[in-house]
Amino acid sequence: MRNPFYISILGCLVVLVGVGCSRDKKPEEYRGSVLEDLPFVYRMTVQQGNIITEEMVDRLELGMNKRQVQFLLGTPVLTDFFQTDRWDYTYTIQRGHDPMEIRYLTLHFQEDSLVRIDGDIQPNPARAQARAPEEMVVSVPDYQERKGLIKRSLEAVGLEPKD
């Protein structure tokens, strides 16, 4: 009599564990709040990756070495362990309720020299020439020495010569 009881309990446990493990625990799709799609609900701007601008890409030239490219564009987001001569730059930005903007740039090197540029933005020498050079004017105020308390005291007593 005990044997069928244990077998039935064991069978129930196997069925329960099988049903629990086979259930897909991931939701079918992400469902946020009902209110987040309303226009007056604030959504923060989210940026990820390296910022890639036309000006930065226009400065790229074939034949540059990896250090020069890294100086212009920064460290690549994706570096393939097996293909070290390929650098991938990805930039995404989502402003509020607007759709996400995605920019890709893939650089191919051969023997530490840039040989090919693929992506959404291509270097354009005409665009680079049309861009007006930026002038930077820096005004530096005249230097005025600030004397400390001890130096001013010594000058007042006559122990330190005045300028």
Averages of pLDDT over runs of 10 residues in the chain (163 residues) are 72 63 52 71 86 87 92 85 88 88 91 92 81 76 82 85 66
Query: Is residue 154 situated within a structural domain?
Result: no
Determine the pLDDT at residue 26: 46
| Amino acid 120: pLDDT | 87
CA dist 6 → 12, 24, 85 (Å): 10, 30, 63
Return the closest-CA partner of residue 107 out of 130, 128, 123: 123
Q: Which residues contact 69 (CB under 8 A, 6 or more apart)?
A: 60, 87, 107, 114
Say if 147 falls within a structural domain. Answer: no
Given this model, what pLDDT does residue 156 score? 87
Q: Report the distance separating Cα 61 and Cα 124, nearest Å.
A: 10
* pLDDT for res 152: 86
Q: Is 159 part of a structural domain of the chain?
A: no
- What is residue 15's predicted lDDT score, i.e. its pLDDT? 64
The range of the structural domain enclosing residue 92 comes to: 61-131
Q: Is there a domain that residue 33 lies in?
A: no
pLDDT, residue 14, reads 66
Nearest 5°: phi and psi at 116? Answer: -150, 145
Residue 13, pLDDT score? 67
3-state DSSP assignment of residue 145: coil
Residue 29, in any domain of the structure: no
Q: Is residue 157 part of a domain?
A: no
Query: For the chain, how many structural domains are there in total?
Result: 1
Residue 13 lies in a domain: no
Give the C-alpha separation, 113 to 88, whole Å. Answer: 15
**Pair 115, 62: CB distance under 8 Å:** yes
What is the CATH classification number for the domain harbouring 101?
Answer: 3.30.1450
Q: Is the pTM of this model over 0.75?
A: no
Q: What is the pLDDT of residue 39?
A: 75
Q: Which residues partner with 94 through β-bridges?
A: 46
How much is the pLDDT for 65?
A: 92
- Asked whether residue 20 is domain-assigned, the answer is no
